[in-house]
Structure 1
Amino acid sequence: MSSPSEASNESGLILSTEVEEMRGIRPFPNTSLETAGQLANQVAGHAIYNRYLSQKSANTLKRHARDLELFAEYLLDVGIMPEHGADFQTNPKAWLGVTWGIVEGFIAWQLQEGYAVTTVNARLSTVKVYAQMAVKAGTVPREEGMLIQSVKGFSRSGAANVDAKRPQTRIKDVTYTYKPDGQKQTVVVSRRNTKKRHPVLLTRQDAHLLRQVRNDSPQAVRDALLVSLLLDHGLRASELALLKASDINLTRGTIHFYRPKVKGTAHEWTTHKLTQKAHELCREYLNQHYPPTLLPDGPLILTTTRLKRNGAGGQLLQKGMNRVRLSERVAWLGKQIGLSKLSAHDCRHFCATQMAQMGYGVDELMAWFGWTSAQTAVRYIASAEVQKRYKG
């Protein structure tokens, strides 16, 4: 690497523009050290996330993403709408307004939802790491950051006491052994996976309402389209977030998409014939609202400007919605028709239920939803047969 070139001027020696850009700094002639230090803090604070993420393995980042997605789900569940988005992993502004009380509430919420104490501790650690970076970025006050760091998880003996007082479910699945006070003690804990215990059951009327375009804004067409793809085609939120405009073939009326969850299997890539409603919404969305500059390979589901009370706004932006923001939007749309905690997976569940009731077979369901196990398809078919029997 060549040494930094120097140029002389009235204010002394400064780094050349090429080296400045290479080092990511911008000198300010005649700037006091105190002022320069504050400016450097701002720049370094916003870069700290990228620096941290670049040092972590893919598996660690994936685990952190799941932890922070659950943190966002907790906020939505208790009625808090993140004003600056829910991308807590890469966006420092998302942490604006987070306090130690909210973090304490996250712990209590997880215990109420039935998560294992060891899992609660791990997620608390993740939140504290990213909150501390938000302090350095200036989006969380220093005093509040210190209080967040003071939030404690559970010790081994404390975890045993918590588990002993909680309802015991799925006893045959998970047990933890603690040794409080030097004594061996087996404690059966309540444990659940990341899916909800019971899905939100949609009716056909609910689905009809969700597919409707609510107003004249591009945002409303986008919302109807994303819900239609979830309800009619059973896409996962991750699959929807990866869609590009070119994945929609309006002439043939098809959608071609990738399934990261089943990568390496026969179901990794698939093509669906669009339903009539989804096809109509795709045509309106792409022909009338989608920015031409993003065609053909821009993200399909775009973020939008804020929709105002007078009906103005809701214009499509250049950035695609990620999985977390999609989940947020589905939950919000569900609330508008009186459904609490609606998720993308609930829409997928509705689609599978409807297709099973229409008589689709195991192989057809496996191909449509990308299932690698026939047991999942069989459960839906069996459920449909039971419902039909009880109806008479």
Structure 2
Amino acid sequence: MTLISKQVPVIRSDAEALNVARELAAYFKRESVVRDRERRLPHDELELFSHTGLWGITVPKAYGGAGVSNVTLAQVVALIAAADASLGQIPQNHFYALEVLRVNGSETQKSRLYAEVLAGQRFGNALAELGTKTAHERTTHLVAAETGYRINGRKFYATGALYAHRIPTSVVDDQGVHLLAFVRRDNEGLNVIDDWSGFGQRTTGSGSVVFDNVFVAREDVIPFQSAFERPTPVGPLAQILHAAIDTGIARAAFEDSLHFVRTKTRPWIDATTDIASEDPLTLKSFGHLSVRLHAAEALLERAGEYLDTAQANPTAKTVAEASIAVAEVRALSTEISLAAGSTLFELAGSQATLAEHGLDRHWRNARVHTLHDPVRWKYHAVGNYYLNGENPPLRGTI
């Protein structure tokens, strides 16, 4: 694939976005095993990724972007995640920040920050914190100073920050209001630490970001909390991206299982066949996996359609419907990604565990990424919605 040009192309349509993603995914897949095994951070790959124009596909048409559907966005993320699960996850909070900007930013902020993205800039994240009472509590503090603000605090699980030009950071002001600060990566006092040691998603760079009296301009801070005090699609947008990542991981594990059984696996002695792909119990297992994988892919598309409706007309009803549709695919994509990564070894056999194949990365990636938020609460939300008519909470789980 042709490497980086100085001019970042602007993708103009959903079809173009999918074509570019398919070509890029094929390129990323070639070295995915090596990147995982050696924890080779994908700096060059991300330069290529953002210089294809794919990081700008959600910029609305009114601001010069393609404004692709959420169906397309989810498919693009799933395609990249199937090739390399870490590369699929790194832009997740970039797209999330762009949605917060769309919902809560001023016209001036949108014009300026969207233009940066269309020019190839990458946004990371500094949202979550360790050591707080709950996963949603934030202590990183923002205070007024000079012509803007100063930020002090420490973040973790900062996926994408290591590779970002700006780091959207959740902060709390003196009144306890949550804001989102689009902090420049090179600002003095900002330290991104590569201390992510998860056994999966090894190259996401999801480690720490430390803010030591870091300056942020007033015009780079937008409201955050208010996105969850009224019906907006911000929450389900974040969640559909997670579902797309898991669905991509499941697809990769399934495809690698098929290839290995066809080319390397020996049938079990009781199968009464010399060809592993004709083993009747193997066929049953592949059938079971394929049905659930195709169901997850269909639910992902359906959730994208509901989310498109909620974006076009955000009401309590449309946002709740989108949130439930996304919760349904989150539940199934969690389960099939784990099942595909584990069943791979049952079907492929002992050879599949050899390190040179790198097939363990699928289960490791799925296990780490699906811990983002518990699937049991997805089922709770879905059941409560259908049985009791209770809308899910307006919460920004990212």
- Structure possessing the higher relative contact order (Cα contacts under 8 Å, 6 or more residues apart): 2
Instruction: Using structure 2 for the length normalisation, give the TM-score.
Output: 0.23
Q: Look at both structures and tell me which one has the larger radius of gyration over its CA atoms.
A: 1
Instruction: Using structure 1 for the length normalisation, give the TM-score.
Output: 0.23
